[in-house]
Amino acid sequence: MQRILISGASVAGPVLAYWLRRYGFEPTVVERTPALRHGLGGHAVDLFGSGVEVARRMELWAQIHEARTQTTTMSVERHGKRPVTVDIDRLSAGISDRHVEILRGELTKLLYEATRSDVEYVFGDSIATLDDDGDGVDVTFEHAAPRRFDLVIGADGMHSTVRRLVFGPEEAVRRHLGGYLAVYSMPDLFALQDRMLVHVSVDRMVSTYGVHQTGQARAAFLFRTATELPYDYRDREQQRRIVADAFGEYGWTVPRLLEHLAAADDFYFDAISQITLDSWQRGRVGLVGDAGFCPGPAIGGGTSLAAVTAYVLAGELAAARSDLPSGLRNYERKVREFVDLSRAAAPKVMKSVIPGSATAVRLVPWATAMLVRLPTPVQKLVWAQNGVGKALGSLPLPNYSDLIRTP
């Protein structure tokens, strides 16, 4: 049986492992965190269109839908104006009749549960070196003994180790879009439960929403700066100061949100950047999901992109079977347009999420209120014209069912 090593157990990694197993490969997943990063901390992500279809083909749709976030209303506000409140189900119906928002950790947990019985998972380790000699790849790990695989796939996210080892340093392929993103959990001070509050001003956006599974709330801060901020990605205290400085004078409910910044143990901060590699395969090593082509966190449909590209990658490897490098090349050809469209759309989404002018700030609540009033078919039309909507709808999922070898 051909052995395939996957680095990363979040979305792309487990989806890939699931399908490889069905096609008769022997996947091993190595994950840096000591235990699965599942659960109710972290951020909410979306599955749309083809991403939902992948979940259906994995027979996980009902469970994913059951575990969804269940936010029902959103109030959008700007300084000095009354909030505009909309019904999120009305908005979602227009985005796609197949859309779900779920905490990333919950999605990962379901994907892990669907694969753990027949896929080898190694937690608390990372690939240290890779040596591709054309017939296979010799891999050393930070902890485990060296092993040899027929193929290695990096599904290890925006700051991928596999990409650094084989395709070069991150700085050369990372394009900062000018924005920053911070998220953390906190007590539900405003009894939000199933509500989300959003506040926009020039170059700033804050939101807070209830998490029904924990009774807690989450605060999210997005902002833009004229020049790139220098910071150490390991230094959480420095990152907390950056957020506090960016929103210190903001007003609204922000001072109360910031009171919980220091204590949050799931604090996340990163620059909103894209990975701009134009090829994500080299010999017997490939990349999938954010590791290969992150469109930018929270703005480019990265979760659907990860699920769909992992599904196609597994199918193309199965179709190529004895010639895995050609399977990698075929995968790249099949998903290129889909990836390019998502990456092209994401900067425009960032501009609308973090409005860059007073006019844009006025438009956000108005456009939200207008969109929700449109009949669902017209909303769908609007969504289909939106770049991410167009991108996520652009790849009809291939059918690889005749390649399945195990039930």
> In the bound complex, what is the minimum distance in angstroms from residue 158's beta carbon to ligand FAD?
6
> In the bound complex, what is the minimum distance in angstroms from residue 290's beta carbon to ligand FAD?
4
Closer residue to ligand FAD, CB minimum distance, 174 or 321: 174
Closer residue to ligand FAD, CB minimum distance, 14 or 365: 14
Q: Cα–Cα–Cα angle for 385, 391, 394, nearest 5°?
A: 100
Closer residue to ligand FAD, CB minimum distance, 105 or 315: 105
Closer residue to ligand FAD, CB minimum distance, 158 or 177: 158
> In the bound complex, what is the minimum distance in angstroms from residue 46's beta carbon to ligand FAD?
4
Closer residue to ligand FAD, CB minimum distance, 210 or 289: 289
By CB atoms closer than 10 A (0-12, 13-18, 19+), residue 214 is middle
Phi, psi values for residue 197, rounded to 5°: -110, 135
Q: Which amino acid is at 20?
A: L
Tell me the C-alpha to C-alpha distance, in Å, between residue 218 and each of 39, 160, 250, 297.
Answer: 14, 27, 18, 17
Q: Cα–Cα–Cα angle for 7, 218, 304, nearest 5°?
A: 40
Binding site for ligand FAD (CB under 6 A): 7-13, 30-33, 37, 43-46, 104, 126, 155-158, 161, 181, 183, 268, 289-291, 297-298, 301-304, 306
Closer residue to ligand FAD, CB minimum distance, 28 or 303: 303
> In the bound complex, what is the minimum distance in angstroms from residue 124's beta carbon to ligand FAD?
9
For the record, the structure tokens of 251 come out as 């007003």
Closer residue to ligand FAD, CB minimum distance, 162 or 372: 162
Closest among 23, 18, 20 to 4, alpha carbons compared: 20
> In the bound complex, what is the minimum distance in angstroms from residue 270's beta carbon to ligand FAD?
6
> In the bound complex, what is the minimum distance in angstroms from residue 291's beta carbon to ligand FAD?
6
Residues whose CB is less than 8 angstroms from the CB of residue 324 and which lie 6 or more positions away in sequence, other chains included: 2, 150, 151, 284, 317
Per the CB < 8 A criterion, the answer to whether 250 and 228 are in contact is no
> In the bound complex, what is the minimum distance in angstroms from residue 322's beta carbon to ligand FAD?
27
Closer residue to ligand FAD, CB minimum distance, 34 or 377: 34
Closest among 17, 73, 39, 87 to 371, alpha carbons compared: 87
Q: Convert 88-120 to b/e letters by CB count within 10 Å (16 or more is b).
A: beebbebbbebbbbbbbbbbbbbbbebbeeebe
User: How are beta strands 195-201 and 73-78 bridged, if at all?
Assistant: parallel
> In the bound complex, what is the minimum distance in angstroms from residue 161's beta carbon to ligand FAD?
3
Sequential DSSP letters for 329-353: HHHHHHHHHHHHHHHHHHHHHHHHH
